[in-house]
Amino acid sequence: MEIFEHLSFGLSVAMTPTNVLFLLIGALVGMIVGLFPGFGPAAGIAILIPMTFGLAPTTAIIMLSGIYYGSMYGGTITSILINTPGESATVASTLDGYPMAQNGRAGPALVMQAVPLSLAAHWV
């Protein structure tokens, strides 16, 4: 049962208010980076690594993961709203999301990219 002790310790470290705050900041900054076509998650992390130099190592890794996931979602926003994929991972979003946005259903298209499909099916 040692694995559960390690798992609970890791969750207790990750869920401290400081780490959750930096996760949210990283996700917001990542979404802004992802909105720019041509900037992907790798470029966003490479540019924003200096923001984490003064942080504790765990907090820095949590913030960088927030930047990564936020920029992944930020790239789908441009592909759905203006039919411009910012990276190769969001090309498929232009095939379904942009026609939905043209039909006035941009909100459900963005939700389907952010929320797992089983939850988003109830909102469509």
Distance, in Å, from the CA atom of 54 to the CA atom of 50, rounded to the nearest integer, reads 8
> Looking at the predicted structure, is the pLDDT value of residue 1 above 80?
yes
What pLDDT does 20 receive? 96
How confident is the model over 108-123, as a mean pLDDT?
A: 71
Distance, in Å, from the CA atom of 63 to the CA atom of 40, rounded to the nearest integer, reads 16
* Structure confidence by residue, pLDDT tens digits, 49-101: 999 999 999 999 999 999 999 998 888 899 999 998 878 888 888 988 999 99
What pLDDT does 56 receive? 94
**Residue 54 vs residue 123, higher pLDDT:** 54
Domain ranges of the chain: 2-120
* Structure confidence by residue, pLDDT tens digits, 29-42: 999 998 888 888 88
Distance, in Å, from the CA atom of 58 to the CA atom of 78, rounded to the nearest integer, reads 31
What pLDDT does 122 receive? 54
What pLDDT does 75 receive? 87
What pLDDT does 37 receive? 82
Nearest Cα to 27, choosing from 75, 65, 70? 70
DSSP characters for the chain?
Answer: -HHHHHHHHHHHHHTSHHHHHHHHHHHHHHHHHHHSTT--HHHHHHHHGGGGTTS-HHHHHHHHHHHHHHHHHHHHHHHHHSS--SSGGGHHHHHHHHHHHHTT-HHHHHHHHHS-HHHHTTT-
pLDDT band for position 123 (cuts 50, 70, 90)? low
86 touches 36 (CB < 8 A): yes
What pLDDT does 38 receive? 81
What pLDDT does 124 receive? 54
